[in-house]
Structure 1
Amino acid sequence: MKTVRLTLRYDAETIHPMHRFVADSDAFDAYRMVHGNFTGDGGDDNAFIFHVVGDPTVYETALAETGRVSDYELTRTGDRSFTVYVRDVPDDVDDRLLETFTRGSLVTLPPLEYRSDWTVRFSVVGDPADLQRALEEIPEGIETSVERVGEYDGGDAAVGALTARQREALRIAREVGYFDVPRSASVDDVAAELDCAPGTAAEHLRKAESTVMDSLEL
């Protein structure tokens, strides 16, 4: 089976209102779909679970006001983190996109990372012909970038959610001993190998660790 890592960029007509709200707000740091029914049965509400890092009160107010959600339940997991179960009322673009990536041999691998630049990043596994067909049938108003193509090796979806720079930062941190117990290397050591400032290296590591932890079932 092949795996494809994709980035979908929405325009003002196709972006989901909650994605747009979170992207345009300063109250959120991370927004990921971690589970979904992915049935592709057009016309029915879709059920999804999101992990969010940000202000739960601001998020819940917007969620209650949107006309695209029939039901939800928000559970706080920390001061600035929460999960939300959502029954989403799909529009035509949502139905077509969901059907595109669930047809035939295709399996969409969570998490789906909803980003502040109006993009969504995720991986799909399936037969090459089905993957090619899906890319050709993405609705208008959504720009598609193929980030990576390869053989599916059963790797953890959490790794697939990392950016290339975050994976490099974790790899170097492991090699120099940053994760040893006791720790035998510092952020400065990681930064030297990455050829960046210590603050930048620390940010890469923090975001990478957050992505991996959010993807685990604990």
Structure 2
Amino acid sequence: MKTVRLILRYDAETIHPMHRFVADSDAFDEYRMVHGNFTGDDGDDNAFIFHVVGDPDVYEAALDETGRVNEYELTPTGDRSFTVYVRDAPANVDDRLLESFTRGSLVALPPLEYRSDWTVRFSVVGESEDIRRALADVPDGIETTVGRVGEYDGSDAAAGALTARQREALRVARDLGYFDVPRSASVEDVAGVLDCAPGTAAEHLRKAESAVMEALDL
């Protein structure tokens, strides 16, 4: 079974209005789809759960104005983080894209990361032929970049359990030597690169380590 890491770059005609809003706003730091139900009949809305770091009031006001959302519920999970359960009326391009990457042997691995550069980044597992067919069927207006390609070994589960900030903290800590034996960098060093307080850096590292350990099949 193959796994590929994909980057989908949307143009102004194909990007979802909420993705565009979050990407163009200074009120948000992170936007990820962590669960989705793609099994509705044609014409039905789809159900998703997003994890968002940012201003919930700004986000909710934008949801109310999209005209695409039939139902939603925001649940706070921290000082500036929240989850959103949303039922969304898909546009034609959304239906085609979802169909392409969920048919046959394909499984899209959460989370799907929605970036400020109008890209969505995620991994797909499946048979090579199904992956090639899905890539060929990506609608016009969406530019596809294929990242790493390999045999699926379950490693994406651990990476997918991390937030973007946690991955950044782990990368910085690794590069500085925080995980070396003996350790050659401190939490204060990591915090300096991340531009945050040492306590915040330590929390990012603890949560990242916990998430990776939970995701690994030991």
Could you tell me how far apart the structure 2 residues matched to 1:9 and 1:142 are?
5
Q: Does 1:136 align with 2:142?
A: no
Could you tell me how far apart the structure 1 residues matched to 2:151 and 2:88 are?
33
Give 1:27's aligned amino acid: A
Q: State how 1:94-113 maps to structure 2 within 5 Å.
A: 94-113=94-113
SS of residue matched to 1:175? coil
Match of 1:121 in 2: 121
Match of 1:175 in 2: 179
Identity %, equivalent residues = 71
Scaled by the length of structure 1, what TM-score is found? 0.81
Could you tell me how far apart the structure 2 residues matched to 1:211 and 1:81 are?
15
* CA-atom RMSD in angstroms: 3.2
Q: Does 1:13 align with 2:17?
A: no
Match of 1:152 in 2: 152
Distance change >3 Å, CA 201–CA 58, structure 1 → 2: closer
Q: Give the superposition deviation at 1:175.
A: 2.8
Q: Give the superposition deviation at 1:147.
A: 1.1
Give the total of aligned pairs.
204
Q: Give the superposition deviation at 1:199.
A: 1.9
Give 2:157's aligned amino acid: A
Could you tell me how far apart the structure 2 residues matched to 1:106 and 1:28 are?
31
Give 2:180's aligned amino acid: V
Indicate conservation of the 8 Å contact 1:162/1:211, yes or no: no
Match of 2:62 in 1: 62
Indicate conservation of the 8 Å contact 1:40/1:102, yes or no: no
Distance change >3 Å, CA 130–CA 52, structure 1 → 2: same
Q: Does 1:36 align with 2:36?
A: yes
Indicate conservation of the 8 Å contact 2:50/2:85, yes or no: yes
Q: Which moved more, 1:166-175 or 1:81-90?
A: 166-175
Indicate conservation of the 8 Å contact 2:172/2:193, yes or no: no
Scaled by the length of structure 2, what TM-score is found? 0.81
Could you tell me how far apart the structure 2 residues matched to 1:210 and 1:13 are?
41
Q: Give the superposition deviation at 1:78.
A: 1.5
Indicate conservation of the 8 Å contact 1:112/1:120, yes or no: yes
1:124-163 deviations in Å (ceiling 9; x for gaps) = 0000000011111100000001111011001243415678
Distance change >3 Å, CA 210–CA 76, structure 1 → 2: farther
Could you tell me how far apart the structure 2 residues matched to 1:16 and 1:210 are?
34
Could you tell me how far apart the structure 1 residues matched to 2:189 and 2:174 are?
13
Q: Which moved more, 1:126-135 or 1:148-157?
A: 148-157
Distance change >3 Å, CA 62–CA 121, structure 1 → 2: same
Could you tell me how far apart the structure 2 residues matched to 1:42 and 1:155 are?
34
Q: Give the superposition deviation at 1:47.
A: 0.1
